[in-house]
Amino acid sequence: MPEYDDARKVWDDRFATDEYIFGTAPNRFLVAQAHRLTPGMRALSVADGEGRNSVWLAERGLDVAAVEISPRAVEKARRLASERRVAVRFEVADVREWDWPVARYDVIVAIFIQFASPAERTRLFGAFRDALVPGGLLILEGYGVRQIEYGTGGPPHAEHLYTRELLEGAFRDFDILLLEEREDWLEEGVKHVGHSALVDLVARKPAL
């Protein structure tokens, strides 16, 4: 898609405001999974944006790394972490081209990462699988296909959206702890506001 050809510029332009465009509160679905998280877990927040999710994870005592393509977003995320007095290891990088580690993280958080084309998404999901330790958790939320009708956030391309069947197939070798298509009202800054079609997944990589 042309609008994703220069992704760093696209996202830098979106984040070029003092306002936190997705808010500073963590994603509600992520918060609802707090019972699965324990202090000391090594966590990665993928395409972390302005830090709302990585900072919340760090506040819970997790050992958090975050990767994000936009330097402007990371600058704001660092400011948020400083204000909240937590440590997060931020890295500016395109997750589609990042040198993904192997078996490093106990939990990977991927909230609204739907900039990826189907082919890129397949590679990203494979990277998640490899980067998790055996028994590690994937916590993922994205927009479902009806989101196109609502227009309250997310990409305008149906092929970038999720279905239950897509995620079941992509993580068929994982233990699916939660997988749900649902609708809800989101209020995440100024970019995710209104009635929304969502798909939620929590999956555990099989232990050795």
Confidence of residue 145 (pLDDT cuts 50, 70, 90): very high
pLDDT score recorded for residue 208: 78
pLDDT tens, residue by residue, 156-179: 899 999 999 999 999 999 999 999
Least confident span in 52-61, 119-128, 189-198: 189-198
- All structural domains of the chain, each given as residue ranges with its CATH number in brackets, are 2-204 (3.40.50.150)
Mean pLDDT of 50-76: 97
- pLDDT interval class at 140 (50, 70, 90): very high
Read off the pTM.
Answer: 0.94
In DSSP notation, the chain reads -GGGTTHHHHHHHHT-SSS-TT-SSPPHHHHHTGGG--TT-EEEEET-TTSHHHHHHHHTT-EEEEEES-HHHHHHHHHHHHHHT---EEEE--TTTS---SS-EEEEEEES-TTS-HHHHHHHHHHHHHHEEEEEEEEEEEEBTTHHHH-SSS-S-GGGSB-HHHHHHHTTTSEEEEEEEEEEEEEETTTEEEEEEEEEEEEEPPP-
191 pLDDT tier (thresholds 50, 70, 90): confident
